[in-house]
Amino acid sequence: MLQSRRALGRNGPQRLAPGDAAYAEVRKLDPQLLGNVSCELIAEVPVRLSTRVRRLTANNPGMMTGRHEYYLIGDAATGIAVIDPVRC
Domain ranges, ordered by start, for the chain: 1-39, 47-83
Cα 57 from Cα 46, distance rounded (Å): 7
Cα 69 from Cα 42, distance rounded (Å): 11
Confidence (pTM): 0.72
What pLDDT is stored for residue 88 in this prediction? 55
Over the stretch 23-59, which tens digit does the pLDDT of each residue have? 999 999 999 999 999 998 888 888 999 889 999 988 7
What pLDDT is stored for residue 2 in this prediction? 79
What pLDDT is stored for residue 66 in this prediction? 63
Measured CA distances, 84 to 33, 37, 67, 70, 81 (Å): 31, 23, 13, 5, 10
CB-facing half-sphere around the CA of 21: CA atoms within 13 A: 5
CA proximity to 36, closest of 66, 76, 8: 8
